[in-house]
Amino acid sequence: MVTALTTSPEEAADRLRRGGLVAFPTETVYGLGADAFQPDAVRRIFDAKGRPADNPLIVHLHRRGQIQRVAADVPPSAQRLFDVFAPGPLTLILPKHDGLPSVVTAGLETVGVRLPRLPLAQSFLEACATPVPAPSANQSGRPSPTSWEAVEHDLGGRVDCILQGGRTDTGVESTVVDCTTDPVAVLRPGAVAVEAIRRVLGAVQEAPPDEEAAPRSPGTRHRHYAPTAQVRLVDTPSNASPGARHAYVGLEAPSRPNAFGAVYVEEDIEAYAHDLFHVLRACDEKEIEIIYAQSVSSEGLGRALNDRLRRAAAR
Ligand code: AMP
Ligand code: MG
């Protein structure tokens, strides 16, 4: 299959409506979408990525009025969160509409819904005029794609079209919040801080940060974000051992940067999150063998960043 590259949201949407798989940018990472109401097309998303069949997809919408097509109910907690954070990097888990094909939710009775904020994503979704289930547009297990080049690297020849935008803004995925429980529960930390959600709703449950403890979001069980290089977490740069095939990424600079094959010093947590997946992929291109990554304090966006670092380092 030849993968078409385009900067036209209308052309990309046209391919999706004809049953195609289309990768598109959002403010978090690039997604790989299909028409929610063409189950064969949705099935091809799992094949193209090598995604485990038990991992449900987040449905992307262009406006709130479309929620009724995919969800049976929108609890008051969800209304309030969308009032504050939509459009934006927040995914809400709601009871599933019977009419939504079950392949989208991997057989679950709930559905994840998100309204992206990036204007190019909005133009694309508007032109699609159908709900678009889309996981991250990477080969399953690899770092999420934050550029169209990363999508082409992983999925070129396996998808119909890539809508070309720039590098993504936040660089980590959406925060996933289950609104079918009271209080709501954060299933995956992400670009919207848990503290901000708590300010809106008061009580919020948080899943403990280990894999087995988060069975409600099936995707958090699987291996994730791993480059070919080995990732090792360090508290301080002095714990990173130098070497020509060793890389370092973190907020503080190592004392002998020239002794590493590559060094990335990030200005703040936002810049670190923005760059992380890009850096992991760049290290593979440089044939780095070990990436030392400095962990950060788990506040605000730091919670999502640490989560991704920990998973990238898990073997
Ligand atoms: P990604 O594969 O990067 O798009 O991540 C999607 C995340 O949202 C995964 O962790 C999924 O397991 C989670 N998710 C999507 N839909 C649901 C749902 N209905 N219930 C729980 N988690 C969900
Ligand atoms: Mg993913």
210 pLDDT higher than 90: no
Kindly write down the DSSP assignment for every residue of the chain, as one continuous string.
Answer: -PPEEES-HHHHHHHHHTT--EEE--SSS-EEE--TT-HHHHHHHHHHHT--TTSPPEEE-SSGGGHHHHBS---HHHHHHHHHH-SSSEEEEEEBPTTS-TTTTTT-SEEEEE----HHHHHHHHHHTS-EE--BSS-TTSPPPSSHHHHHHHHTTTSSEEE---S-SS-S--EEEE-SSSS-EEEE--SS-HHHHHHHHS--EE--SSGGG-TTSGGGGS--S--SSEEEEESSGGGSPPEEEEEEEESSPPS-GGGEEEEEE-SSHHHHHHHHHHHHHHHHHTT-SEEEEE---SSTHHHHHHHHHHHHH--
185 pLDDT higher than 90: yes
| Ligand with minimal distance to 135 CA | 1
**Tens digits of residue pLDDT in 243-288:** 999 999 999 999 999 999 999 999 999 999 999 999 999 999 999 9
CB within 6 Å of ligand 1 — which residues? 55-56, 58, 93, 105, 108, 110-112, 135-136, 173, 176, 187-188, 216-220
223 pLDDT higher than 80: no
| Ligand with minimal distance to 60 CA | 1
pLDDT recorded at residue 221: 62
Answer CATH for 4-206 from 3.20.20.410, 3.40.30.10, 3.40.50.150, 3.90.870.10: 3.90.870.10
**Tens digits of residue pLDDT in 61-96:** 999 999 999 999 999 999 999 999 999 999 999 999
48 pLDDT higher than 90: yes
Note the CATH number of domain 230-313. Answer: 3.40.50
Where is average pLDDT lowest: 19-28, 150-159, 184-193, 306-315? 306-315
pLDDT recorded at residue 209: 58
Residue of the CA atom closest to atom 21 of ligand 1: 217
Confidence of residue 207 (pLDDT cuts 50, 70, 90): confident
Residue of the CA atom closest to atom 22 of ligand 1: 217
Ligand 2 centroid–CA 49 distance in Å is: 10
Mean pLDDT, all residues of the chain: 95
Where is average pLDDT lowest: 12-16, 124-128, 211-215, 292-296? 211-215
pLDDT recorded at residue 213: 43
pLDDT recorded at residue 35: 98
The domain limits of the chain are 4-206, 230-313
60 pLDDT higher than 50: yes
218 pLDDT higher than 80: no
Give percent above pLDDT 70 in the chain. 95
pLDDT recorded at residue 224: 85
Confidence of residue 3 (pLDDT cuts 50, 70, 90): very high
